[in-house]
């Protein structure tokens, strides 16, 4: 078979490898978005529970990190909740505004998930097409 067919084959194999790398990166990004969406859902549940409570002093276990908790007392001010907005900057918001901002962020993440799933679908289609083209070129070269 011709040198041109071999070059075509190598080009398609290279493109396939690049698309597979891109697919892995996009999948990791999608997993991160899903994790953040789950965290927001958990936070909203906690804020809903906080909104239902009348008292502002609580006793219970407080997370220190790395699955370590300490028993303690906490006084909650529903009018001063800090929410990070990026680059290490936080806003002091009341409970309702915090919930509204998290709901908006949750919707944005859902939109990103839909967008990423569409991108992943397109990449998978292109990978399948390239595999077929590579298979055909290999058969041509062998004969």
CA distance 11 to 138: 13
Domain residues for 10? Answer: 3-53+81-142
The model's pTM is 0.81
- Write the pLDDT tens digit of every residue in 79-125: 999 999 889 899 999 999 999 999 999 999 999 999 999 999 999 99
Is position 62 within any domain? no
Is position 60 within any domain? no
Q: Which run of H or of E encompasses 121? A: helix 95-142
Is position 31 within any domain? yes
Please tell me the total count of domains within the chain.
Answer: 1
- Write the pLDDT tens digit of every residue in 30-76: 999 999 999 999 999 999 998 998 888 889 999 999 999 999 998 88
* CATH code, domain carrying 36: 1.10.287.370
pLDDT above 70 (res 1): no
Is position 64 within any domain? no
CA distance 142 to 1: 8
């Amino acid at each position: 078979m011709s040198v041109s067919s071999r070059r075509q084959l190598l080009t398609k194999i290279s493109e396939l490898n690049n698309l597979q790398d891109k697919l892995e990166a996009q999948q990791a990004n999608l997993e991160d978005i899903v994790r953040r969406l789950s965290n927001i859902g958990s936070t909203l549940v906690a804020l809903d529970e906080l909104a239902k409570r009348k008292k502002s002093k609580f006793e219970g276990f407080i997370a220190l990190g790395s699955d370590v908790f300490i028993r303690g007392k906490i006084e909650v001010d529903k009018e001063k909740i800090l929410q990070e907005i990026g680059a290490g900057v936080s806003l002091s918001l009341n409970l309702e505004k915090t919930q509204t901002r998290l709901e908006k962020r949750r919707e944005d993440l859902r939109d990103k998930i839909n967008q990423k799933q569409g991108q992943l679908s397109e990449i998978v289609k292109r990978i399948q097409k390239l595999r077929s083209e590579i298979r055909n070129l290999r058969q041509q070269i062998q004969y």
